[in-house]
């Protein structure tokens, strides 16, 4: 996240909830990591922590503001997706499974139908829910397209190419 912020220099960062994933995470953070996070938050003009279901009140020592949701123009940023047009949400941690050239890949992705989006997590401790899961159908009404995150670029994958996880 630091590399992205340093490279893109955003004026606003909106963290879509569950940034710490539980109320005790602050106490378990290494002091150096906590200081680095506080400095990163201070480096952005407007940092907003969206309340998550696991951490409704992010630790105050990191700074930034806290909101249930944020509206910017026709977009609404929130933690849990509701399926509304213009919504940008987190919570589901989307991943996509796709096959090609004799290989199958499962990776984090952005999920969208062009009217709403669910963003992946930056976190190392969050799993990924396949975009073919019923939870995404409840948000999108069908299987969304995916933008799979590669090492150097993002790859658009049409919904018809996405594979479900085996159970």
32 is in which domain, residue-wise?
1-79
- Asked if 55 and 91 sit in the same domain, the reply is no
> What's the structural domain count of the chain?
2
**pLDDT tens for residues 73-130?**
999 999 999 999 999 999 999 999 999 899 999 999 999 999 999 999 887 666 689 9
Answer yes or no: are the C-beta atoms of 42 and 15 closer than 8 Å: no
Mean pLDDT of the chain: 92
Q: Where are the alpha helices (DSSP H) in 43-156?
A: 134-140
**Shared domain check, 28 and 13:** yes
Instruction: Give the span between the Cα atoms of 139 and 141, in whole angstroms.
Output: 6
Alpha helix (H) residue ranges in 11-166: 25-28, 31-42, 134-140
User: Could you tell me the pLDDT band of residue 2, with boundaries at 50, 70 and 90?
Assistant: very high
Please tell me whether residues 19 and 86 are part of one structural domain.
no
Residues 104, 58: one domain? Answer: no
Per-residue pLDDT at 52 exceeds 80: yes
Report residue 104: phi and psi, to 5°. Answer: -120, 135
Structure confidence at residue 27 (pLDDT): 85
What pTM, to 2 d.p., does this model score?
0.90
Task: Let me know whether 139 and 95 are in one domain.
Answer: yes
């Amino acid at each position: 996240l630091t590399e992205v912020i340093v490279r893109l220099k955003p004026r606003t960062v909106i963290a879509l909830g569950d940034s710490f994933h539980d109320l005790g995470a602050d106490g378990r953070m290494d002091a150096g990591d906590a200081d680095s996070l506080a400095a990163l938050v201070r480096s952005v003009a407007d940092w907003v922590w969206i309340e998550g279901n696991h951490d409704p009140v992010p630790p105050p020592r990191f700074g930034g503001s806290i909101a249930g949701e944020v509206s910017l123009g026709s977009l609404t940023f929130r933690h849990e997706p509701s399926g509304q047009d213009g919504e940008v949400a987190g919570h589901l941690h989307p991943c996509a499974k796709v096959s090609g050239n004799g290989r199958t890949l499962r990776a984090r992705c952005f999920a969208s139908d062009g009217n709403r989006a669910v963003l992946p997590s930056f976190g190392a401790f969050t799993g990924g829910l396949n975009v073919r899961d019923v939870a995404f159908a409840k948000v999108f009404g069908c299987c969304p397209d995916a933008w799979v995150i590669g090492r150097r670029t993002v790859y658009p994958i049409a919904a018809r190419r996405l594979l479900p996880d085996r159970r």
